[in-house]
Amino acid sequence: MRNRFANALLLAGCLVTPALASENMEAADACIDALRATGTPDAKGGEVLSSTFSEAGTVVMLRDLGGSEYKCIVWSDGVVGELSLVNAMDDGGGAMAGASGQSGPTTNEERVRFSAGTTGAEIPATLTPGSSVRYLLGANAEQFLYVRVASNVPGMSYQIFNPDGSFLLDMVDSAQEYRGQLWQSGDHVVEVINRGQSNADYHLIIGIE
């Protein structure tokens, strides 16, 4: 059973799937507002097909009254980062758009290892729009962590988690460097996120002192 929407909000009388957690419902509301803001007549109603939550952001799939489907990405701060048409239904004139051909956002994990005798590393990588990489780094309390995400592509951000899953650093733009003392021991996570609309090349520069 899918959520139906009208008037830009998930109303109290709407059908709600048990799997749709509160954070997913908030993301769905934001996506519905964004779809309605396009002014498309068919966006006055429709249904929420699915909602996938991650720490980087939530991917919501929508279908409007005309049957066209949309992919919407909502970042962890509630901002809609992308609203794109995935499949457009026949408009009566015989024209039908196919799938966009782009793969959806991904979240991968990678463990950071320093070369012998060094205390840091520089890791080059590329992220597709909406995707993220969680870099795991073992470190001890009272050590100092340095993080820099070098990229010229707009929309690149990162956030840092303590071993217990709490935030060491809330999401910031890649232009902002981080240097600070750790207060927990174990695997820390530096999550790099592409919030832009195009593929992004970057270098993660990370060190422990």
CA 28 – CA 57 distance, rounded (Å): 12
Q: Which pLDDT tens digits describe the chain residue by residue (209 residues)? A: 345 564 333 333 333 344 445 557 888 888 888 888 877 777 877 888 888 877 677 888 888 888 888 888 888 778 887 788 777 654 443 333 333 444 567 888 999 999 999 999 999 999 998 889 999 999 999 999 999 999 999 999 999 999 999 999 999 999 999 999 999 999 999 999 998 888 999 999 999 99
CA 40 – CA 93 distance, rounded (Å): 17
The three-class DSSP label of residue 172 is: strand
Take residue 176 and report the two structure tokens written for it. Answer: 């902002």
Take residue 96 and report the two structure tokens written for it. Answer: 């039908």
The confidence score (pLDDT) of residue 40 equals 76
The confidence score (pLDDT) of residue 58 equals 84
The three-class DSSP label of residue 132 is: strand
Cα radius of gyration rounded to whole Å, the chain: 20
The confidence score (pLDDT) of residue 130 equals 86
Query: At residue 117, what are phi and psi to the nearest 5 degrees?
Result: 85, 5
Give the chain's domains with CATH numbers.
3-87 (3.30.505), 107-208 (2.60.120.380)
Q: In the block, which residue shows the tokens 């709407």?
A: 14
What percent helix, strand, coil does the chain show, rounded to 5? 10, 50, 40
The confidence score (pLDDT) of residue 61 equals 87
